[in-house]
Amino acid sequence: MSLCRLVLAASLTALVTPCFGQSSSFLPVNNPPAQQNSLIDLLALMSGHCKTLKVAGRTFGCKTVAYAHADKGRVNFAVAIDDPSDDSHVISFSGENGTRADDNSYELPIDRMLLNSKSRPRVDGLPVPAEQTSTGRCRQTGNFAAKQVSDITCSATDSEGRRYELLFVSDGSPVSVRRIRQSTPSIHDPFR
């Protein structure tokens, strides 16, 4: 499966499927209540590299990073992890009520981490991520409308005290933005 399809599948599964309450073999989880199902309306794939990717004390590389926006307002920064032992290893920094300070900066408060691996239960052949209640923040420099993102930094701590960190730096290639369906914007933008 191509990297783009893997990240899209993980993002779609994370936003559409409620969690089963089983723990991942990688990390035990403390699942928040399942949310209403929602559908992705915007997907942006970025190329570059992770200068930093830490998952509960372990350092990894990444294959790709994607931004997925759901029609009910939930946003995921999904990271396909370069893990030779698990080709389904994806984490997502997930939250709602992102804000834009100006045209080239976006900030998302994180309220959960979505943890996916080959050992997770499957629905329609796709692993369903475990949801871990978390607090943190992601910051994106750049603009999807201009198809340019410079970097993304994320930091979150889950309810078990485990830390997740991301510093993704773009290689300068245009962002691949796919509007899947029309929906009402959920970003607080003081400039509009």
- Report how far residue 43's alpha carbon sits from residue 68's, in angstroms, rounded to the nearest whole number: 5
Give the pLDDT mean for 163-179. Answer: 95
pLDDT (tens digit, 9 = 90+) per residue, 20-51? 333 334 455 454 444 446 688 889 999 999 99
Q: Where are the domains of the chain?
A: 3-21+42-179
Please choose, from the candidates 151, 140, 148, the residue with its C-alpha nearest in 3D space to the C-alpha of residue 176.
148
Mean pLDDT taken over the chain: 81
Structure tokens at 64: 């790709």
